[in-house]
Amino acid sequence: MVIGPIVLILAAAPMLCGQLSPKGPLGPGKHGKEMSDEEWYRTNRVAGGAFLVGGLIWLAAAILLPGRFDTMRQEQETIAFIGATAVAVAMVVSVMYVEGESEEW
């Protein structure tokens, strides 16, 4: 149950460190929103931070919650729900920042 959050944390690291180029395969592409390189890296730092926090919350749930439920199914569903919620919130934060809904982060 810890593989998902670890992958999310590892995926957030290059975003936080400014390693994703806007010209690379994960860049906005031809049909993406026009943004300067500075905006691209700032947006990636915000998204990377959101994914890092989401991954850490999910990892904490995966480490701290096992053994606290009546059945294994309840445990797995609860951890999966916490992980999905953490990822969804990170996505919403990222999209809101990219779309300009929240200018001051």
Phi, then psi, of 21 in degrees rounded to 5: -80, 140
Of residues 29 and 59, more confidently modeled: 59
What is the pLDDT confidence band of residue 31, given thresholds at 50, 70 and 90? low
Query: What is the pLDDT, as a whole number, of residue 83?
Result: 95
Query: What is the pLDDT, as a whole number, of residue 24?
Result: 74
pTM of the model: 0.82
Angle of helix 3-16 versus helix 37-64 axis, rounded to 10: 160
